[in-house]
Chain A
Amino acid sequence: DVKVTQSSRYLVKRTGEKVFLECVQDMDHENMFWYRQDPGLGLRLIYFSYDVKMKEKGDIPEGYSVSREKKERFSLILESASTNQTSMYLCASSPQTSGRFLDTQYFGPGTRLTVL
């Protein structure tokens, strides 16, 4: 079974802090994604990566950065956390193949981040 793990289930940080969210997958997937999920807005893509050291902006990259130094690990960084970044953050991975396999994204359990 594919397993995607996220470093924390719940996190509370203060405004202005630097926040690291870690994601690790164990299936040698090329693609990794970071989303945030908010009521009424659904899942929105923040950043994604097709390969090590490669990253592309998603739909809402402002205020975030990412790092992918190893294939299995994809980190999301909030350089200076703000209250409007309070959200559920979901990491996902998928293989770089075609059709159904490409679109089968395996999600982690999520990190609920609260910024005070």
Chain B
Amino acid sequence: QKEVEQDPGPLSVPEGAIVSLNCTYSNSAFQYFMWYRQYSRKGPELLMYTYSSGNKEDGRFTAQVDKSSKYISLFIRDSQPSDSATYLCAMRSGATNKLIFGTGTLLAVQP
């Protein structure tokens, strides 16, 4: 079993839709949770960062962490064609600097 599971998609939605992207994990020691966004033929870039449980909002993006269920989510409101990318979750425990990445979900927002 992988430490981090993420549905690879692809996920296709119409412009303006609310998008929900999710990851599950097995290691209860994970404390730091991230979402990276990767456009085609580019390297990933950090989009959202959350420590421990709770919600974090940044514009149209909301990250949620539920440590009791070992489940993290990224919500995108009013999705735009420019949001079309691969979204990778990443996480780590406090004992290491190594990030464990999910496989990524490919999102396509149709105009």
Q: Does A58 contact B (CB under 8 A)?
A: yes
Other than the given A48-B97, A99-B32, A108-B43, 20 more pairs (CB < 8 A) read A40-B103, A42-B88, A42-B101, A42-B104, A43-B44, A48-B98, A94-B97, A100-B49, A102-B97, A103-B34, A103-B49, A103-B90, A103-B92, A103-B99, A104-B49, A105-B99, A107-B44, A107-B45, A109-B42, A110-B42
Q: How far is the CB of A102 from chain B (nearest CB, A)?
A: 6
A-B contact pairs, 23 of them (CB 8 A): A35-B101, A40-B8, A40-B103, A42-B88, A42-B102, A42-B103, A42-B104, A43-B101, A44-B101, A48-B97, A50-B97, A90-B43, A94-B97, A100-B49, A103-B46, A103-B49, A103-B92, A103-B99, A104-B46, A105-B44, A105-B46, A105-B99, A107-B43
Count how many chain A residues have C-beta atoms less than 8 Å from C-beta atoms of the other chain: 26
Residues on B lying within 8 angstroms of A by beta carbon are 6, 8, 32, 34, 41-46, 49, 51, 88, 90, 92, 97-99, 101-104
Point out residues on A near B: beta carbons under 8 Å.
Answer: 4, 31, 35, 40-45, 48, 50, 58, 90, 92, 94, 99-100, 102-110
- A95 vs B93: C-alpha distance in the bound complex, in angstroms? 17
Distance of B65 from chain A, by nearest CB (Å): 14
B46 touches A92 (CB 8 A): no
Those 8 A-B pairs whose CB atoms lie nearest each other, nearest first: A107-B43, A42-B103, A43-B101, A100-B49, A104-B46, A42-B101, A107-B44, A108-B43
Please name the residue on chain A nearest to B6 by beta carbon.
Answer: A42
Q: How far is the CA of A54 from the CA of B41 in the complex (A)?
A: 30
